[in-house]
Amino acid sequence: MNVTPTRRIVPSWWAVVLIAVLAGPSQAARGDVVAARAPAAAIEADEDDGDLARKADIMHGARWQRAIAELGGWLATQTIYPPAEVRRVKRQFNDRVAAMSSYELEYLLDSISQKLEILDTPQGRDAKAWVGEYLAAMSNARRAQALRQIPNVLDLSAAQLWQEIARVERMQATLQQRQQNADARQAVIAGRASANRTATAAAAQAAANRIRSAPAHSPYRSGGGSPPFSDVQRRQPLIPFGGLFF
């Protein structure tokens, strides 16, 4: 009897690769990966600690302390934002600072310093004072509506802050021109009213003078004048005779 020899199955190269992939890295390989990641994590932690230390140095520095003091002084003396809005601005500012890196904080410090210099210019001081007076003259409802259109100073760049101050100056000039036009119209109306009063008084005085200078007797006597209705004959005076009038 012929016996067929058993065939030896040899896995192909792709099967070997597939088994290796499914099995995952060997213990030694996994150890190498963990060992490689450990220094990276340590380096990242050191970088975080270094950034926090740098951030703390900035916040304890004289420049940061001076900028925050000036910003707090401006918020305390301004009359634009109500107290509740000032508290909201401060809370928002604190949250932003807490989430920043040291480099972002350094950029924020530069921005605050630039904006404080702008706010301390004559244009900035005039704009702050005028906007405060403008809002104070409004009703509560109009003031609340106007405040929604006023941007947060901390959200603006230095260039945007200059643009906002220029916008306030244009609005101030427009309202002043309107007020001057209204005052001019009011002056014209007042002048006309005064002239009318003067003319009326003069006419009344002239009439009074004519009355005083008029004769006491009737102008109709001795043919001195015609009665108002000349088409009506005057009645002759009645002469009494024996108790009868003729």
Q: List CB contacts of 225: < 8 A, sequence separation 6 or more.
A: 219
113-144 as b/e: b if 16+ CB within 10 A: bebbebbeeeebeebbebbeebbeeeeeeeee
pLDDT tens by residue, 2-19: 444 444 444 443 333 333
Amino acid 87: pLDDT:
92
Encoding tokens for residue 18?
Answer: 């597939």
Residue in the block written with tokens 């006597």: 221
Question: Of 102 and 190, which is predicted with more confidence?
Answer: 102
* Number of domains the chain is built from: 1
Q: List CB contacts of 196: < 8 A, sequence separation 6 or more.
A: none
- Determine, yes or no, domain membership for 66: yes
- Determine, yes or no, domain membership for 54: no
Amino acid 221: pLDDT:
55
- Determine, yes or no, domain membership for 123: yes
52 near 101, Cβ under 8 Å?
A: no
- Determine, yes or no, domain membership for 35: no
Amino acid 22: pLDDT:
38
- Determine, yes or no, domain membership for 78: yes
Task: Please state, in angstroms and as integers, the Cα–Cα distance from residue 224 to each residue in 37, 207, 215, 216, following that order.
Answer: 133, 21, 11, 13
Amino acid 225: pLDDT:
57
- Determine, yes or no, domain membership for 230: no
Encoding tokens for residue 239?
Answer: 């002469």
**DSSP at 155:** G
Residue 112 CB-density burial (10 A; 0-12 exposed, 13-18 middle, 19+ buried): buried
**Which one-letter amino acid corresponds to residue 196?**
N
Helix (H) or strand (E) holding 241: strand 240-241
Q: CA-based angle 136:155:82, to the nearest 5?
A: 25
Quote the pTM value. 0.53
- Determine, yes or no, domain membership for 204: no
- Determine, yes or no, domain membership for 9: no
What residue numbers bound the domain in which 65 lies?
A: 61-182
Residue in the block written with tokens 């140095």: 57
Task: Please state, in angstroms and as integers, the Cα–Cα distance from residue 151 to each residue in 80, 121, 155, 187, following that order.
Answer: 11, 19, 7, 38
Averaged pLDDT score across all residues of the chain: 76
Q: Is residue 228 predicted with pLDDT exceeding 50?
A: yes
pLDDT tens by residue, 161-214: 999 899 888 988 888 887 778 887 888 788 888 888 888 887 887 777 777 776
Encoding tokens for residue 215?
Answer: 């004769």
